[in-house]
Structure 1
Amino acid sequence: MHTNIIFDFDSNKDINTWSVVDDAVMGGMSNGTFQLSKDGHGVFTGYVTTENNGGFSSVRYEFEKMSVEGYENVVIKLKGDGKDYQFRIKASRSDYYSYIREFSTTGEWEEISIPLSDFYPSFRGRKLNMSNFSRNSIEEVAFLIGNKKKESFRLIIDKIELK
């Protein structure tokens, strides 16, 4: 089975191309950070609060257009905190919506495999009346937490790839 690496963290990686977007963009008060750990993993941590109509934190990675032809799944090696997250992809960074898929974490290192065809279009938490992902390429991936409650979070990411 062939793979295509979207991002593989290691201690020498530059993560300046990743950016945190919190609900502060709409007046909320959630706060996320993204750092590279000493052992070479991406660490997305913070606190989500529903105050001021908030309730989410996300970290995004934009890149040159990458073909997804011939691949069926996005596979993410990560260690979560037992909470639920969304993984999001964009076919074009200029799209106002993302294709999203929720996943749960166990608190242990695990590989999450999500069929590309499972990603559904969503904008501001609402599913759009459009078909699921069937595009030929992607230009952005993101992790988002927004479980409609106040909670701290910690997601450690090792690798994101297409398989």
Structure 2
Amino acid sequence: MKYLLVLLTLSLFTQTNMKEIYRFTTQTKVNEWRIVNDGVMGGISKSSLVLSDSGHGQFSGQVSLANNGGFASIQLNKTIKLMDENKFIVLRVKGDGKAYEFRLKGKISQSESYVHQFNTTGEWENIKLPLNEFYPQFFGRKLNIPNFNFKSIEQLSFLIANKQEEDFKLLIDWIGLE
């Protein structure tokens, strides 16, 4: 069964010109990801990133609205060169039926993040997010500047902020470019 899954995954990458940019495995060092919750502004939301028994990243926790909070996130600083043919970020995830955001920064030093929301179904799924639809946001406010148009990515993030108190769990297999 394990070999069948590997062949199926390789087939997917071959057929769609997919370039894997990050994959969780049982060897992943999750401490290369940074947890950033609403505690940076006084909130008390809690989250963690651990490896599941099968080697997937498990981003989970509790979002609290107390003290003007309301979000939890994980961030990875990683430089990824983009080619003209790269049009999509593709996520292989298994969520809990909740909405999440995937965020990019073209430069780590920039204050704004480029955001694309996605919904999960509770099943494993591949979610395609068009790069040109990632919109700029700063402290939850959409900015009136162009959408993502950089030649590289220097930071990747997952965030949950649904304006409600909730437990959450998002399993992450891999992140790709198409």
| TM-score after normalising by structure 1 | 0.97
Aligned to 2:34: 19
Q: Which letter maps to 2:161?
A: G
The structure with more radius of gyration: 2
Report the CA distance between 1:89 and its aligned residue: 0.5
Report the CA distance between 1:106 and its aligned residue: 0.3
Aligned to 1:154: 169
Report the CA distance between 1:86 and its aligned residue: 0.4
> 1:128 and 1:14 mapped to 2: Cα distance?
34
Report the CA distance between 1:126 and its aligned residue: 0.3
Identical pairs, percent? 46
Q: Which letter maps to 2:86?
A: Y
Aligned to 2:13: none
Structure 1: stretches of 5+ with no match in the other structure:
none
Report the CA distance between 1:91 and its aligned residue: 0.3
Output aligned runs, 1:1-163, within 5 Å. Answer: 1-63=16-78, 65-69=79-83, 70-163=85-178
Deviation digits for residues 46-103 of structure 1, max 9, x if unmatched?
000110000000011111x211122010000000000000000000111111000111
> 2:94 and 2:108 mapped to 1: Cα distance?
27
> 1:2 and 1:107 mapped to 2: Cα distance?
27
Higher helix share: 2
Instruction: Tell me the SS of whatever aligns to 1:117.
Output: helix
Aligned to 2:7: none
> 1:119 and 1:103 mapped to 2: Cα distance?
11
Report the CA distance between 1:4 and its aligned residue: 2.4
Instruction: Tell me the SS of whatever aligns to 2:67.
Output: helix
> 2:99 and 2:148 mapped to 1: Cα distance?
21
> 1:125 and 1:162 mapped to 2: Cα distance?
26
